Amino acid sequence: MMRGNVPVGDMAANQTGFPARFATQLFGRLFVQRYPYTPLFLLEGARHILEAVSIPVIYVGGVLSLDQAEEALQAGCRFVELGRATVRDPAFAEHLRSGAVRESDCDLCNRCIAAMDGGGVTCVSAVRGLMPRDAWQRKDVR
């Protein structure tokens, strides 16, 4: 679920009670493993599933652009799930369809996932500002 940045500070801030906040801040990086973000990060697995079943398959995982959605469809998936992109812009699918955009500007910060513990999923970057897309890889940005 968290490919890219692991926002331990945000995760800790959204915990209720000092012990949970302290433990998350102190041990969060030990319990939440870091996985690199790559577009279509589950496509190879989806191809194996497509070979094994005769029912429609929905692709999930790392679709931020029209080209990536089309690649998943061309691989044989019947539908494509748009997660991060629709958290960033709830009308993202309509914007793709209309040609207004071809790619999401989601910054892969995962602060939206950390926000779940604070009362719901929202694009934190819409409020706090976008981070560089490679921020989760860099040591100078945390």
User: What's the pTM?
Assistant: 0.80
CATH number at residue 83: 3.40.50.12600
User: Can you give the pLDDT at residue 138?
Assistant: 57
Verify that 132 and 77 share a domain, yes or no: no
**What's the number of domains the chain is made of?**
2
Q: What range does the domain containing 115 cover?
A: 1-31+108-142
Verify that 89 and 113 share a domain, yes or no: no
Q: What is the DSSP string of 52-98?
A: H-SS--EE-S---BHHHHHHHHHTT-SEE---HHHHH-TTHHHHHHH
Per-residue pLDDT of 8-19, as tens digits, reads 888 888 888 899
Per-residue pLDDT of 21-80, as tens digits, reads 898 888 888 888 888 889 999 999 999 999 999 999 999 999 999 999 999 999 999 999
User: Can you give the pLDDT at residue 142?
Assistant: 44
Verify that 63 and 93 share a domain, yes or no: yes
Q: How far apart are the first and last CA of the chain?
A: 19
